[in-house]
Structures are given as structure tokens and as C-alpha cells.
Amino acid sequence: MKEINFSEIGIRGRKAILTTDTTGRIITLNKAAQKLLDVDKNELIGKNFIDIFGRELNPQERIDTLKEKMINNESYHDFFKVKRFKNEDEFIWTDLVFDPLIIKDVKQGFTLMLSEVPESDKPRE
């Protein structure tokens, strides 16, 4: 397995990328993530990533599946609503790709890649 260099996963890239520790607390997010979520990185560092999905915005079964995948160190792909932090009444649909972050065969946490879903591709509620 290749060791991951954070510059390779887009710390300065166009995709919104967050990394977490093994418990799900956010430890890094790139500028694209800050822009997508309309938030300063200092407002999210240390918070659990599930909080950005707005428990009230997504079906509990979707949140439970995400937690289960996290516990089992499995990758996951789905659509989630996320809050825009400057205006908590506003949300956007995102396409989430969630992967365990493993360096030298040791689980270090998770990477989350988010991209906004175009109006035409939004899932039915």
C-alpha cells in the first residue's frame, strides 16, 4: 500500500477534502472544503465530522450506515445534505466519498471528499 502524502490528496486542490482522526474528529480541511461549507477551518477543527451533515437534515439510517462503515473501516459513497455554516438555515446536497486513511498499515483516521451535487442530479427526498 502506498504511503499518502497530504499534498497528493488535495490540501490545496479543488475538491473539498477533510481528514479526521480515528474517532471522526476533523483534523484538517482544505480551502475548497472551507468554501463549500462556508466556514473558517478553525470553526470545524476538533468537531466530529457527522455534525457537518446536520443530523436533522439526513435520514437516521443514512447516518447510521456512515457510522457503521466508520467502525468497520470500510469505504462509503452516498449523497448527504450539509449545512452552510454562515447561514445554518441553508444547506447543499453533496456527493460524499469516505475512506479509511491508512498509513504504513495503521489506521490513522478517515478522508472525506465532498463535491456539490448539481440541481439536476440531486436525489429525491
Task: Report d(CA 27, CA 91) in Å as an integer.
Answer: 23
pLDDT tens for each residue of 16-67: 999 999 888 999 999 999 998 888 989 889 998 887 776 677 888 888 898 8
**Residue 101 pLDDT exceeds 70:** yes
The DSSP element (H or E) to which 107 belongs, if any, is strand 106-116
75: left (phi over 0), alpha (psi -120 to 50) or beta: beta
CA–CA dist 94, 35 (Å, integer): 13
* The pLDDT of residue 4 is above 70: no
CA angle centred on 59, ends 57 and 62, rounded to 5°:
115
pLDDT for the residue numbered 51: 79
Each residue's pLDDT tens digit, 102-118 = 777 777 889 889 988 87
**Domains annotated on the chain, with CATH:** 16-118 (3.30.450.20)
Overall average pLDDT of the 58-81 stretch: 88
- Return the higher-pLDDT residue of 13 and 35: 35
Distance CA 7, CA 77 (A): 22
pLDDT at 9 over 70: no
Question: What is the Cα–Cα distance from 7 to 97, expressed in whole angstroms?
Answer: 18
The mean per-residue pLDDT over the stretch 2-15 comes to 50
HSE of 31, CA atoms in CB hemisphere, 13 A: 4
